[in-house]
Amino acid sequence: AGKQQAVDSISDLTTEQLRKTFEVNVFSLYWIVKAALPYLPEGATIVTTSSVQAYQPSANLVDYAPTKAAISAFTQALAQQLGPKGIRVNSVAPGPIWTALEISGGQPTKVIPNFGQQVPLKRAGQPAELAPTYVFLTSDESSYVTAQIYGVTGGMLI
């Protein structure tokens, strides 16, 4: 989730695009968590969305990938901070998933026909395939799970 715009070269990446990508993907998460925190009771859970890009960055996502690495680190640091208050914090790190991001500039047009073919399952995932992981992380079944990054990647390693 967030802002993703593929570029062929860092020379094509403007400071404005880099700033906006970090604002949308990282700063907005910080602002939302900070605003929600006073209302979160013991037993609450926060689930963020990182990406396999945090661990296996694509060359054409030079601004997006580091934001997802920042979200993973933010998630784990926040989990350490909020754990003593009984608040769990985890993240889902999707691999290639068919979303509007992919067809609206998130991937170069030439790679769209083969999007997701590089993963061991040989296909991109669907958003509905992520849902069970989010549900698990917000359920009582994950009451002893915090500071974890769950990959839903079609077999890509994180």
Active site residue 64: yes
Distance of CA 108 to the CA centre of its chain: 20
User: Rounded to 10 degrees, what is the CA torsion of 106, 22, 91, 4?
Assistant: 0
**Catalytically annotated residue among 30, 55, 64, 134:** 64
Token code pair at residue 69: 């690495």
108 with 63: CB under 8 angstroms? no
Contacts of 151 (CB under 8 A, 6+ apart): 52, 93, 94, 95, 157, 158
Sign of CA dihedral 153, 50, 62, 81: negative
Contacts (Cβ under 8 Å, ≥6 apart) of 52:
93, 94, 95, 96, 151, 153, 156, 158
Give the count of alpha carbons within 13 A of 77, CB side only. 8
Residues annotated as catalytic (active site), given as ranges:
64
